[in-house]
A and B are shown apart, each in its own frame.
Chain A
């Protein structure tokens, strides 16, 4: 009997797992996909929001595509319970799906600040495609949009809101913007850039309630003046979709705890993406990295292991980039490690900032901010990732970088980082192009 793989979640991790199963397997297997939504990419929703792409562009697989992959789909259904003893997943409509192995890839959901009025009309999250549609329907030229939360999600849609002709105000509870992506100096560079581009930013303010004010919304704060908004977007964080695993016996901390093969404590139950708590490449400890590249790599490693290969994952690396009004801000690895040796350079006139964090001779974290049209910025983003990913010992180039944190390219090339990186692959073989996946059945 062919192996029966159950993929729970049609996001990035689930899609990559299914594709890799089909790339790697020697014997045809059965794949069943349970997904609450049609598979699409959250990464591209900001470009749907600014109307630079059609809605059809967001989908990562059509029904025909999944049929070619011989995937049995249960779309619109959610997993409600897992019984790892019986190898059965029960869905929200009572359907029971038996499996030989399964992947938990249920991702995460947006959460709203717990204030009165947070669930009212005209208050939105921006996480799912359905939420993106509602935001797109409600913003028009001249609208005043207030975004609650100055984190990564807000910043990914900031350009889109402005492109729709709206006026934008961002309010943040923390004393500064992007508290989980850049340090205080970097935040100051980005904040002053935003203000110079007509975005109002209010930090260190606590939202108290959101009330109806005729056709508009009134935001009240514990201190300071009210704000009147046409549209409120709550970008106040995400939470891992784990509740349905309660009582299943699958071990959960901040996420499903997984080993180097991305198996949970139950050997035929894997987890990947936002819901998995796996190895962090830099610290070696366990962490939830709710970012796209981790979901991709997790998904591919799980797919290979489900197909019968023995692929160990070396760990995921936090990488983030946002562009706001043609200013890039990116960070890598342990950029906020208080124990690391930090060296930084700031060129205010060029809106350019670099922070390099060393543990011994190795770069373990980095922050880079600069204008998008500055070749200096675009060259360095990738090389900083390469230095952190490769853990290349930088020897005497470390002192060179201390003197000039902007001369990353020289250090990268002369330390022979390319030699270390070239043999590295996630699956122990060259990657296949997205259209190349064979259909084994």
Chain B
């Protein structure tokens, strides 16, 4: 892009007003058809009396989640979060300011659950739950990617993701669901993964990969499926099985296990790391989807559970699996102990694939030739759920250090993007939290702007031509939006794609 264009664009940006009310009020995800809603146990459609049922549901959630109760009360409208959301920055729609997004629900909370809102609604900004308010909820709670960037800056730690999840849960309970999330949840229960890849097709794909790698390397690098007695169960997003660039990371995982001599397996039952139960804030779905992993681990008798490159899957695995399905340590109940006895306590359970690879690299158990990546100047995009909702390694910030340490080992040229856009302050790709659907493309493109601006800066200053990331949604979203910002699709890829390029296999060392 020429400098004249950049100057022109900057001039336009400066002229843009701070707020453009309603600028994305017309961008709405498709509503889930009643049969899809019903199939996953939600009310099929909005019917008479939905208002009371929604308020009752809100009351139930306020009693079940302290986060929601405290977050509804504690906000003082200080404005610290107002310029922190990538969707606000990209769209300038005031309802995309985190506090305003929360306020869509808080105004209703005040009306029905606080004395001030019951007595003086106008004074405190309380509103009845009407069809119009519900429409606003549906629009703007599906323009939040639950990335938690606002929660970093809030003086009370108010996390809009918790509010968004509660709002989606309430809407689902009265029959207003989102087609994209509901369809995917249906598929994971019916077929075992979000993309609806059946066991035969999965086996076929994996065999194809084995043949391809045999031709390329002359080695028998395996992609085992449902192999009892394997050491490691790998749970990875199903996009890794065929989407580009995801599949290059899957090849990377296989090469790592091969080179290190670790027996591993995938599972047809647990052929999905993603868990959209998180996105819709439904504990029951979150738990039922996670239970597949528990069942697969028990059936296959594995000693370790490792999670592939997927942001929200890692949040669910790292932060919630111990709670939901007893993968982890420190439980004294029979349910939790069942898996604890089977899993090897010398390893963190679950482990991220980056923790595994980093450990092997540190110990010299796998060898790499970083010059294999010399055609690339690499930067790293921290994915929100990894950065702000999980950890790797033994110390806080390991989730930032470990992927970077891997990249530095497997490549020679690494450049950081601006510090206000990385690590805990990273910007969402714009497609997370259940927004990776075509009808939301406008907000996805606009929401990617802060990240794209940061990428452009290092592309121009340092010649960065590869942005590594460890999230299937980030990869899919960037593949779609990079061209909109004048980049090639191939600029995005996985950390294990780089590992795959550089790893030394078999007799070659």
Q: Do A and B come from one complex?
A: no
